[in-house]
Structure 1
Amino acid sequence: MAHTQDFDLKTLIRELLQATLGGEYSAHEEDSVLIISESWEGYSDEGVSLDLQDIPEVLLNWAQLDVSQGPDVNELLVLDLETTGLGRGNTLAFLIGLGYFEDGKYKVEQIFLPEPDAELNSFDRLIELLETHSVLVTFNGKSFDIPVLESRLLYHRIWLNLREKEHIDLLHMARRLWKNTLPSCALESLEYYVMGVLRDPEFDIDGGQIPQAYGEYLMSGDVEPLLKIVKHNQLDIIYTMALMVIICDALRLPIEVGKDARVDYHAVARLYQSQGQKDVAKQILCEMKDLSIATVESVHELGQLCKRDKELEEAQHCFEYGAALSHPPSLLALAILLEQTKEYEQALEYTEQLLSQQQSLPLPDLRQLHDIDKRRIRLQRKIAKKAHK
């Protein structure tokens, strides 16, 4: 009799779960999972663009993907998990969020566990989508989602080498593009500062509260708090793709410098320069300077690229810009350039300015002070030698 009552309660909770969250149960005879799906064309309900045209080569190179077999956007699979904890051991992935393009729309598919016993069945749909999509897209997935998934798959004796699958982890690219301009590169920070959206606490839940909320559902059968968890995960999948769209638009050639105020074009230039495309980097930095959106650091880097190309007059102008703002690297670069062009008096002037600046620091770099002083003494000798000729 007790077994029958437990079965009836389980059935009741499952019916209530589907009525509250929507979706359909999988076809498994026992321990089926609830699959919730929704699609958007062009823009999400929050107004962020989900229109991904293609993936720029520079991003593929950075992610160490095969550029010659550049993936189509329909091959991307966004992944985000909600779990019962932050560790890997004994952590259950009770909600698997997936996003992919289908028939011109961006579809979010969420696989929810009504009870922990259904975990094994949740992997069937996941594996099916992994087989039909060649590239994973995550936000911090390499450090969290993938290790958790591998652990749970191994627990069920399923071997799936997710680490060998092509993977774009947008957290690391976001840090590369925005670490110098944003207070944080957490997803919610990027949502606010880059996408211009703010999550509504009436419909969302803080990520740190999710494990406890799921635990309370298992204890009480109350499904209402799950609405916020599902919405939180859905937004993670939507905003991860929205971030992918912004990054791809920012990196796509030709770079339209200044078009998008959310983009740090200096970081874009550095990305291209890191891949040996110095001419592209130089063009970006030049346009930043022409549009008066350059920083002292970007102008200094432009000066170094001009110097590489033997454009010494332009390089000197760039270094003088930074020197006027007491930018130490520009002062040093200008002193070096002037010494190379045998303008020793001016080189000495900037060297002494740099030396004075470094000596005034609370904790100066003694080795750097020594090198600057050596330069000062050398220049004084060259000036004296020149005067005796």
Structure 2
Amino acid sequence: MNLSEKLQRFIKEGSQGNKSSRESERTDELNRVSRLLGGKIVATPYGPHVAVEKVFEGDFCHAGVRLSSVLEISGEALKLAAKKRDDFELDVRKAVFVDTETTGLAGGSGTYAFLVGVGYFEGSSFKLVQYFMDDFDGEPGVLYSLKKLLSNFESLVSFNGKAYDIPLLSTRFLINRMENPLEFMNHFDLFHGARRIFGQRLESLRLSSLEQNLFRMERSGDVPGFEIPSIYFKYLRDKNPFPLKPIFYHNQLDILSMVSLLSKIGQVLKDPFNSGACSGQDFYCLGRLYEDMGMLEESIRCYTLALSTQPVKDKAYRQLSLLYKKMGRWREAEKLWIQMAKEGINRQFALIELSKLYEHRMKDYEKAASAAREALEVARDKKRLLGRSFDPGEIDEIRRRLDRISFKMSKNREEQVKII
């Protein structure tokens, strides 16, 4: 063996030794993480990773809600919550709840999902699986396991996942040249569902805020979301897995709260009028939802219940009157506009709508002109109050309306004279 062959053999043996040493170190690391978190090491064609599994029996309660109660929600209620029509199906038994913890909050191709939590029902029990990426080269293994699990489901449920989790995971599948299973699944985003019902009542629709306001739940032993990326990067440097425990707990709480929130939404939509789960502000939101979905009688009932709730009173009167107008129920619309003008509820809007009604529908130009003149006075008062921030176009529009009505009045008198 010459010197060149000896050198190549030495390099090869050294390389194999280093590789063996790295693999051994990583195996030890994965064992430490899995033991600490009560997980297991999963082998994949792309390398091993840690997975943590927990099972919650059907009578388990989170935030005061029995998890299995979500299985009692009707498909129609879920379709309404998702604001979808006949092309959307969401069977909770065939759905998976998804939440990620990531290396950054901005998203983009440089952001990794180092922990992916998924929850789903097996019978009446709820199973939660968390896939952990111990280092960046462990991502393909995590995605492989995630893809394999998602292939068993038809739909996914997330919280603000349309804006963040799902695009991020889709990007990671693309970068790793894997088929993206998410693009073939129905998706219900709980953030949008909650906003459609509770958006007027609650100032914040963050998941933790919904927990506090809807369930009176306060988290303990949790880690703030904004700290999670820095904790993970510290783990990558020192390989100390102990600070990871609160992150896994945080992810677990997020998924359990998603189940409780979906159950709450289903309870509201099953019987909003007798469930005791709605306030006046919620009825306004439900009125908008029912109206958008073409359920007009339910919408009218919700708006009517919201009329006495101060924070949404003006909106409810306006929206209900416009719904009556759209339905051609002119007498009911007129009654509302008269009441609004009398009580100072969005008075300028009400007077202009009355002027339109009297001019175009009833041909009562005297009443139309009277309502328009009152609207003009309201606009002038607003101008004095707001000063430069007032839009002068409002006054110009009302003046044009008055001119047109005056012309019609004159023409009508001329025609009457001719008849005489």
TM-score between the two structures when normalised by the length of structure 2: 0.79
Deviates more, 1:45-54 or 1:222-231: 45-54
2:37 is the alignment partner of 1:21: yes
Q: Tell me which amino acid in the other structure corresponds to 2:40.
A: E
* Most deviating of 321-330 and 376-385: 376-385
Is 1:33–1:118's contact at 8 Å kept on the other side of the alignment? no
- CA–CA distance in structure 1, aligned partners of residues 21 and 145 of structure 2: 31
The Cα of 1:357 is off from its aligned counterpart by 4.0
Which residue in 2 is equivalent to 1:211? 229
CA deviation vs aligned residue, 1:124-164 (integer Å, no higher than 9, x gap): 33223311211111122222222221222233321225234
- What is the DSSP-based 3-state SS (H/G/I as helix, E as strand, rest coil) of the residue aligned with 1:107? strand
Whether the aligned pair in 2 keeps the contact of 1:153 and 1:159 (CA below 8 Å) is yes
Given that 1:28 and 1:121 are in contact with CA atoms closer than 8 Å, whether structure 2 keeps it comes out as yes
Structure 1 pair 104–25 and aligned structure 2 pair: CA distance change class (3 A): same
Query: Alpha carbons of 1:14 and 1:289: their partners in 2 closer, same or farther (altered >3 Å)?
Result: same
- Which of the residues 376, 385, 395 maps onto 1:352? 376
Partner of 1:119: 139
Q: How does 1:160-171 map to 2 (within 5 A)?
A: 160-171=180-191
- Match in the other structure for 2:392: 366
Q: Does 1:284 align with 2:296?
A: no
- 1:235 is matched with 253
Does 2:318 correspond to 1:300?
Answer: yes
1:101–1:107 Cα contact (<8 Å) kept: yes
C-alpha contact (below 8 Å) 1:16/1:223 kept by paired residues: yes
Alpha-carbon spacing, 1:24–1:291, altered in 2? closer, same or farther (3 Å): same
Cα gap change, 1:101 to 1:213, in 2 (>3 Å): same
* Greater percentage in helix: 2
Task: Provide the identity percentage.
Answer: 28
1:278, 1:65 → 2: CA distance?
16
**Cα deviation per residue 1:310-368 (whole Å; 9 max; x = unaligned)?**
54443233223433134143333233334444234652453234323442333222332
Larger mean CA deviation between 351-360 and 141-150 belongs to: 351-360
Task: Tell me how far apart the structure 2 counterparts of residues 157 and 345 of structure 1 sit (CA, whole Å).
Answer: 69
Q: Distance in 2 between matches of 1:94 and 1:139?
A: 18
Distance 1:99 1:209, change over 3 A: same
Residues 163-185 of structure 1 show CA distances to partners (whole Å, capped at 9, x for unaligned) of: 34211122233333344333232
The partner residue of 2:168 within 132, 135, 148 is 148
1:185 aligns with 2:201: no
CA distance in structure 1 between the aligned counterparts of 2:171 and 2:258, rounded to whole angstroms: 23
Q: Which runs of 5+ in 1 are unaligned?
A: none
SS across alignment from 1:88: coil
Gaps in structure 2 of 5+ consecutive residues: 1-16
What is the SS of the residue equivalent to 2:101? strand
SS at match of 2:242: coil
Per-residue CA deviation, residues 51-106 of structure 1 (Å, 9 max, x unaligned), is 21235536536757673673321011111111122332232221111121221133
Asked which structure has the greater CA Rg, the reply is 2
1:333 aligns with 2:359: no
Q: Counterparts in 2 of 1:74-153, with a 5 A limit?
A: 74-86=93-105, 87-153=107-173
Taking structure 1 as the reference length, what is the TM-score of the superposition? 0.85
- In structure 2, relative to structure 1, the CA distance for the partners of 1:173 and 1:45 (3 Å cut) is closer
Q: Are 2:63 and 2:215, in contact at CA under 8 Å, matched by a contact in 1? A: no
Which residue of 2 is the match for residue 34 of structure 1?
A: 51
8 Å CA contact retained: 1:79, 1:237: yes
Query: CA offsets, 1:273-297, max 9 Å, x none?
Result: 1122222211322344489996221
Alpha-carbon spacing, 1:75–1:13, altered in 2? closer, same or farther (3 Å): same
C-alpha separation between the residues in 1 aligned to 2:216 and 2:406?
Answer: 55
User: Does the residue aligned with 1:222 lie in a helix, a strand or coil?
Assistant: coil
Tell me the distance in 2 between the aligned counterparts of 1:190 and 1:180. Answer: 13
Task: Indicate the SS of the match to 1:198.
Answer: coil
Residues 258, 300 of structure 1: alpha-carbon distance in 2 compared, 3 angstrom cutoff: farther
Change (3 A) 1:321 1:41: farther
Query: Is residue 173 of structure 1 aligned with residue 158 of structure 2?
Result: no
Preserved CA contact (<8 Å) 2:376 2:395: no
**Aligned-residue offset at 1:213:** 0.4
| 1:268 aligned residue | 286
How many correspondences in the alignment? 386
- Cα distance, 1:233 vs structure 2: 0.8
Q: Is the 8 A contact 1:55 1:73 kept in 2?
A: no
1:227-264 Cα distance to aligned partner (Å, 9 max, x none)? 11011111111222222222232233x54268224661
User: CA contact under 8 A between 2:119 and 2:129: conserved in structure 1?
Assistant: yes
